């Protein structure tokens, strides 16, 4: 008989997570909630428990095995050659209800190639591995305490119509599952989406929580311009670049998303919802670019995670960004192709805004050429 513990009734949920880790370390199989559905997991470094998980999963038709990790950074340890698109999608989707299938190249030695044979047989068969970073606190808590990954089954079970409740195969385990963490109905009540990534192409293999349209949006090339208040320089850069890019692609500004591009701006010290400078609006109007709908937004960790390229107006802006997010260094650049600062026109006469806009456009044309070449 499995031990079933309701984590919402626990005085300290961390005690329940610790118990689950102990059961896994002893070779047990544990049922845990995710944000999508309940899954049964084994310690990926314990070949005996993984073999039992595989046998149990085959009898219950629990579907494809998933290797669960904490984050996109941890995924790189197992599959170092994720590629630009793979890295982008993981950065934008995780933790969350999307699993990704990657090829494990025999020429690139990541941790996936040195997992126990039983684990490789289950999660890396035929050179393919499915990775996921669940957003549920229970799974994340367990992963932080384990030295290796979890192997999960049940996400893609043949019978997955439980609406996020504990599935029928849990009471049918007859002692083969040693511990069950119960947390009511899972948030989404359906499986995570499964996306295959090959180079710069992706394919939705299983339509789950996240739709194909959303994946397409998440796969877009995201360009972010950053200044101080997001009322002058960065919105002007955004507006000009959107127009230049649309002209190059032969589409309207508002159709850039359909062509795989997202262009935005933010400010390091911006107040949410501030209107653009009247002079900035006037200057761009003369270029047939409408800034009247712009509202400022502060630069956030989430925006930095989303962006493929971040263009800062000054060296000070770039240094401030990297101080908060050093892992983004390869994606944060100065907008000036000469390595100089773009001066702030705030509070100046309209002629200074004209000069700033012309300087921005000069550098943005070079950036556009670099972008479309790469």
The pair of three-digit structure tokens given for residue 161, joined into one six-digit string: 């119509």
Using CA atoms, how far residue 311 sits from 218, 238, 314, 334, 354, in Å, is 20, 10, 9, 5, 20
- What 3 state SS string does the chain have? CCEEEEHHHCCCHHHHHHHHHHHHHCCCCEEEECCCCEEEEEECCCHHHHHHHHHHHHHHCCCCCEEECCCHHHHHHHCCCCHHHHHHHHHHHCCCCEEEEEECCCCCCCHHHHCCHHHHHHHCHHHEEEEECCCCHHHHHHHHHCCCCEEEECCCCCCCCCCCCCCCCCHHHCCCCCEEEECCCCCCCCCCEEEEEECCEEEEEECCCCCHHHHHHHCCEEEEEEECCCCCHHHHHHHHHHHHHHHHHCCCHHHHHHHCEEEEEEECCCCCCCCCCHHHHHHHHCCCCCCCCCCCCECCHHHHHHCCEEEECCHHHHHHHHHHCHHHHHHEEECCCCCCCCCCCCCCCHHHHHHHHHHHHHHHHHHHHHHHHC
Tell me whether residue 233 is one of the annotated catalytic residues: yes
From the candidates 196, 251, 344, 365, give the one annotated as an active-site residue.
344
168 belongs to the catalytic site: no
Q: Is the dihedral of CA 307, 313, 318, 321 positive or negative?
A: negative
Annotated active-site residue in 120, 233, 243, 331:
233
Rounded distance between C-alpha atoms, residue 261 and residue 197, angstroms: 19
Active-site pick, 227, 232, 243, 356: 227
The token pair that represents 139 in the structure block: 């799974």
125 is catalytic: no
Kindly list the catalytic residues.
227, 233, 344
């Amino acid at each position: 008989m499995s031990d079933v513990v309701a984590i919402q009734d626990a005085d300290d949920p961390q005690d329940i997570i610790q118990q689950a880790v102990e059961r896994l370390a002893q070779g047990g199989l544990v049922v845990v909630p995710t944000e999508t559905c309940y899954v049964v997991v084994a310690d990926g470094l314990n070949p005996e428990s993984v073999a039992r998980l595989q046998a149990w999963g085959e009898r219950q038709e629990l579907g494809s095995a998933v290797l669960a990790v904490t984050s996109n950074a941890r995924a790189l340890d197992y599959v170092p050659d994720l590629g630009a698109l793979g890295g982008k999608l993981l950065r934008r989707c995780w933790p969350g209800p999307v699993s990704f299938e990657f090829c494990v190249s025999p020429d690139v030695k990541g941790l996936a190639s040195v997992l126990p044979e039983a684990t490789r047989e289950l999660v890396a068969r035929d050179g393919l591995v499915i990775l996921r970073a669940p957003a549920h606190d229970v799974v994340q808590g367990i992963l932080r305490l384990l030295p290796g990954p979890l192997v999960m089954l049940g996400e893609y079970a043949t019978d997955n119509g439980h609406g996020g409740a504990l599935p029928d195969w849990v009471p049918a385990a007859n002692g083969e599952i040693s511990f069950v963490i119960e947390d009511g109905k899972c948030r989404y009540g359906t499986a995570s989406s499964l996306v295959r990534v090959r180079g710069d192409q992706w394919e939705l293999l299983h339509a789950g929580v996240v739709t194909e349209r959303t994946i397409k949006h998440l796969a877009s090339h995201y360009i972010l311009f950053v200044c101080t208040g997001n009322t002058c320089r960065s919105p002007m850069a955004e507006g000009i670049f959107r127009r230049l890019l649309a002209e190059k692609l032969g589409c309207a500004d508002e159709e850039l998303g359909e062509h795989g591009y997202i262009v935005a701006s933010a400010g390091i010290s911006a107040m949410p919802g501030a209107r653009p400078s009247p002079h900035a609006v006037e200057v761009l109007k003369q270029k047939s670019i409408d800034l009247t709908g712009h509202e400022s937004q502060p630069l956030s960790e989430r925006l930095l995670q989303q962006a493929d390229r971040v263009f800062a107006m000054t060296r000070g802006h770039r240094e401030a960004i990297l101080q908060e997010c050093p892992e983004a260094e390869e994606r944060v650049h100065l907008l000036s192709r000469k390595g100089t600062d773009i001066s702030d026109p705030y509070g100046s006469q309209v002629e200074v805004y004209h000069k700033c806009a012309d300087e921005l456009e000069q550098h943005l044309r070079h950036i556009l050429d670099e972008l479309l070449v790469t």
